[in-house]
Amino acid sequence: MTEPSRSDDGGAGSGGDPEPVTDGGSAAVDGRVSDLTAFLRERPRLRTLSIAGPPYGILVFFFAIPLLAMLVVSFQADQIGGAWTLGNYVDFLTSDTYLTVVWRTFLISVQVTAIVAAVGYALAYSIVRFSRRTTLLLLLVILPFWTSYIIRMYAWINILQSDGVLDSILNLVGLPAVGLLYTKTAVLIGFTYVWLPLAVLPFYASLTNLDGDLIEASKDLGAGPIRTFLSVTLPMTINGVITGIVLVFIPTFGSFITPRLLGGTNNVMIGMVIENQFKSAFNWPFGAAIGMVISVVVVALLLLATRFGGGLFGAGGETS
Amino acid sequence: MRKLTDGSTSLKRRRFLQGAATTGAAAAAGCLGGGGGGSDRVPMDVTEWPPEDLESNLNLWNWYDSWAEYAIDAFGEEFDVDVSNTGYSSADQWYSQLQAGNDEIDNIAATTNWVERSIENDFLHELPVDVMPAWENITDRIKEASSYQQDGSTYAVPESLVLYPLTYNDEYFDSAPDSWGVLWDEEHEGDLCMWDNSTVSCQIAALYTGQDPIQPDDYDEIEEVLIQQKPLLQTYWGDYQQGMSLFVNEDVVAGPLTMGRTYTARFQEGAPVHYTAPQEGAMYTSDLFVIPKGAPNPIASLQFTNWASETENAAQLFETMGYQPAVDISDELSEEDAEFTNWPDEWNLVFSETLSDEVRSRYDEIWTAVKAA
């Protein structure tokens, strides 16, 4: 047995506290804690379970079981408790309408992710490389999180609407009004604004760990700025980039508030369809089936992107 | 090592396992919810008015926020009850609480179709309306239209009538448009809106095409006209505030909006808007007060339901929110408000009965197809 003996414990553990106990209740509590500690110490499996159990329990109770419940419901007809059926999946996967919505959602999500990644990376890079007031700038980046999502969207409505803030500024400098509200551009702007902090933080974290000497070495060896970026900076920060992409892509794919408030008549996304099944059509099983399919699709896409992206950038790094 | 196998260790192990089991049971009870808590008294215990021994608290779920603020002060002061209100935006918020086992909500202002669902699932207390004095104040029109009774029992008291009219800019139009066709008129291209709500929009299309909005016979035609309409629209609004802002900012000149939001836009925001029921008809429904089972303060809730249906308090619903209360308040209104709230007898108003699962499902499919087109 490799566990320490009780005498070892007596010297180091709370149960062997050499200080005199002045409070009877406190001593009793200490005694119980000591007993429990000793009990667990001599049962490594139970000890591991007591440490890992709570987080795994949370995962099981609040993620795995709800997901399983959703899976079960998705195989029921019309309502919870209905007859078992594959009909919800068949209806969804054979409908041009729903697949068109999924495709549009995918395109919007890719566009948003690309924009946020580009803007967010440039912002994080600027903060790390060219700024002294890093903390202040990061605070400004996360500042919008302190305001409700809905309120931020209403702020954008005021900015983008006809004769709104943006149009007023454009008119002030002699440019024509654009009236972007209820267009796809408005949706992209709204998403970019909302998700930018989620991308900037992992980008920033990965860039701060980047060894500046590597960039200098690349330049010394004759690489230009673009090649240095593609061969050194980006590959060395790829984990942060992928984290940022995942954090942006997933919520965008499931969004329904931003396209509803800022989009016009042609910006339906699959999240809006799912929401409608639960709140208006009352067809929870069908909504659950769509949710399950979308979850699988999103996870598959991310796994593919991660593998493809990692390989691509990894290869770039090796050849440089 | 040996010590751990003796009696004290066994005791410790039992204590540990007992503790873990107790904690687990408590956690499971918390997670699964118990529901069905609340008072031992039920509203039907009240056989004489006024009820005695009101509870000292009352938890409302009422989406008429401004009226609820008035009610919190006025009712609370009159009956010495501490009132709180949760303003919700979607009925599924409170309905899911009832499904999980209510032990918090005392009184809900619920739309008819949700009341029906709640009655079917035995979520509501029966109400002793025969002993409630204010029951007499509810107009026959709304008593007959609303669906809140089952097997001779009454489970709700109507609070308001909710009309889904055609709202229009009364400076843009010389007179009220007499047809839903205005929403398909190319002359107004880009200045129109529709409600991002499958039922409301499909029912407007059904009325426009001369079909029964509760049980239409040509779904393809409904889908076709909604797709035809799409290029003429500025947007589908999905939030009441957003819908009202479209009219207040004069981004649109016609579209569906609730009577209450039209009232707010006209009288509180100063927007040039009015509403009408086109000749093809307009849908309306009702909101009703219900007392859910598990309510911790059911008698105070019953007293509140009666109080809210007194003429003076019902009139406040119109004054603050612009919705037509279930009580005749004509004597309480200014001439301007009376004109606004008057629904001419010649209007063809269609009560929004709860749709069958098939119709609701088809409307949802159509609406998704229209938005994806």
Encode pLDDT of A151-171 as tens digits: 999 999 999 988 899 999 999
Do A100 and A1 belong to one domain? no
Question: What single-letter DSSP state applies at residue A265?
Answer: T
A168 shares its domain with A287: yes
Non-local (6+) Cβ contacts of B259 within 8 A are B162, B163, B165, B275, B322, B323, B324
DSSP single-letter state for residue A76 = B
Say if A156 falls within a structural domain: yes
Which residue type occupies A111? Q
Nearest to A198 by CA among A309, A306, A119, A261: A119
**A12, pLDDT greater than 50:** no
From residue B314, give the alpha-carbon distance in Å to each of A133, B67, B105: 58, 9, 21
With contacts defined as CB-CB under 8 Å, which chain B residues touch A101? 368, 371-372
Token reading at B325 = 């209360």
Structural domain includes residue A250: yes
Q: Does B371 touch chain A (CB under 8 A)?
A: yes
Tokens read off for A185? 């551009």
Domain assignment present for residue A310? The answer is yes
Same domain, A35 and A94: no
pLDDT per residue as tens digits for the range A87-135: 999 999 999 999 999 999 999 999 999 999 999 999 999 999 888 888 8
The two domains B43-161+285-341 and B166-276+348-372 share their CATH topology (first three levels equal): yes
A280: nearest CB among B9, B198, B235 = B198
Inter-chain touch A36–B239, beta carbons under 8 Å: no
Q: Are the beta carbons of B249 and A161 separated by less than 8 Å?
A: yes
Q: Helix/strand/coil (H, E, C) string of B142-178? A: HHHHCCCEECCEECCEEEEEEEECEEEECCCCCCCCC
Selection from B108, B112, B157 nearest residue B133 by Cα: B157
Q: How far apart are CA A194 and CA A130, in angstroms?
A: 24
In A, minimum Cα distance to B198 occurs at: A280
Q: Give yes or no for a contact between A185 and A262, defined as CB atoms under 8 angstroms apart.
A: no
> Based on the domain organization, do A35 and A150 belong to the same domain?
no
- A157 and A243 in a single domain? The answer is yes
Q: Are residues A122 and A36 in the same domain?
A: no
Question: Which residue's structure tokens are 């308040």?
Answer: B329
Residue A82 included in any domain: no
For residues B298 and B105, what is the distance between their CA atoms, to the nearest angstrom? 9
Q: Look at strands B107-111 and B57-61 and give their pairing.
A: parallel
Does residue A59 belong to any structural domain of this protein? no
- Residue range B81-128, pLDDT digits in tens: 999 999 987 888 899 899 889 999 999 999 998 999 899 999 999 999
Decide if B92 and A279 are in contact by the 8 Å CB cutoff. yes
- Do the Cβ atoms of A97 and B368 come closer than 8 Å? yes
Report chain A residues whose CB lies below 8 A from the CB of B3.
Answer: 6
Give B31: exposed, middle or buried? Use CB within 10 Å, 0-12, 13-18, 19+.
exposed
- How far apart (Å, rounded) are the C-alpha atoms in residues B261 and B163? 11
Q: How many CA atoms lie within 13 A of A165 on its CB side?
A: 7
Reference B289, options B112, B105, B121, B159; nearest CA is: B159
The residue written with tokens 């890093």 in the block is A134
Residue in chain B closest to A153 (alpha carbons) equals: B242
Residues of B in contact with A162 (CB under 8 A): 249, 251
Longest Cα separation, chain A:
85
In a domain, A15, yes or no: yes
Average per-residue pLDDT in chain B?
88
Q: Which backbone phi and psi does A271 adopt, to 5 degrees? A: -60, -35
Q: Helix H segments across chain A? A: 6-12, 24-41, 44-59, 65-74, 87-93, 96-130, 134-142, 149-160, 165-172, 184-208, 212-220, 225-228, 234-236, 238-253, 257-262, 270-279, 284-319
Whether A264 and B234 lie within 8 Å, measured CB to CB: yes
CB distance B230–A265 less than 8 Å?
yes
Q: Are B315 and B59 within 8 A, CB to CB?
A: no
d(CA B140, CA B147): 13
DSSP A30: H
**Per the structure, how many domains does chain A have?**
2
Average pLDDT over residues A253-272: 91
Euclidean distance between CA atoms B86 and B108, whole angstroms: 9
Residues in B touching A282 (Cβ below 8 Å): 357, 360
Name every residue whose Cβ is closer than 8 Å to that of residue B119 and which is 6 or more positions away in sequence. B148, B150, B155
**Do B324 and B69 touch, CB atoms closer than 8 A?**
no
Angstrom CA distances, A71 to A207, B32, B93, stand at: 40, 19, 22
Contacts of A163 in chain B (CB under 8 A): 249
CB B94 within 8 A of CB B269: no
Instruction: Tell me which residue of A207, A57, A98 sits closest to B20, measured CA to CA.
Output: A57
Q: Do B9 and A39 touch (CB under 8 A)?
A: yes
* CATH architecture group of domain B43-161+285-341: 3-Layer(aba) Sandwich (3.40)
Check if B365 contacts A (Cβ < 8 Å): yes
Cβ–Cβ under 8 Å, residues B91 and B341 = no
Confidence at residue A21, expressed as pLDDT on a 0 to 100 scale: 47
Written as tens digits, the pLDDT of chain B (373 aa) is 333 334 444 444 444 444 444 444 444 433 333 344 556 899 999 999 999 999 999 999 998 999 999 999 999 999 999 999 999 878 888 998 998 899 999 999 999 989 998 999 999 999 999 999 999 999 988 888 777 899 999 999 999 989 999 999 999 999 999 999 999 999 999 999 999 999 999 999 999 999 999 999 999 999 999 999 999 999 999 888 899 999 999 999 999 999 999 999 999 999 999 999 999 999 999 999 999 999 999 999 999 999 999 999 999 988 888 888 899 998 888 888 888 888 898 999 999 988 998 999 999 999 999 999 8
CATH number for the domain spanning A236: value is 1.10.3720.10
Q: State residue A23's pLDDT score.
A: 60
Q: Can you tell me the distance from the alpha carbon of A14 to that of A36, in angstroms, rounded to the nearest whole number?
A: 11
All structural domains of chain B with their residue ranges: 43-161+285-341, 166-276+348-372
* Residues A51/A13, Cβ–Cβ less than 8 Å: no
| Together in a domain, A148 and A270 | yes
Query: What six digits make up the tokens of A43?
Result: 């049962």
Residue B145's nearest CA partner among B134, B129, B156 is B156
CA-closest candidate to residue B352, choices B168, B214, B252, B222: B214
Backbone angles phi and psi of A317, in degrees to 5:
-65, -40
What phi-psi label fits residue B53: left (phi over 0), alpha (psi between -120 and 50 degrees) or beta? left
CA angle A297, A298, A299 (to 5 degrees): 95
B51: left (phi over 0), alpha (psi -120 to 50) or beta: beta
Inside any domain, residue A65: no
Pick the CATH number of B166-276+348-372 from 3.40.190.10, 3.40.50.20, 3.30.300.180, 3.30.1330.40: 3.40.190.10
Q: Which amino acid is at B199?
A: T
Tell me the per-residue pLDDT of B8-67, one tens digit each, with 9 for 90 and over. Answer: 444 444 444 444 444 444 444 333 333 445 568 999 999 999 999 999 999 999 989 999
Are A280 and B196 inside 8 Å of each other by CB? no
User: With contacts defined as CB-CB under 8 Å, which chain A residues touch B360?
Assistant: 281-282
A141 and A9 fall within a common domain: no
Instruction: Identify the domain containing residue A200 by its residue range.
Output: 87-319
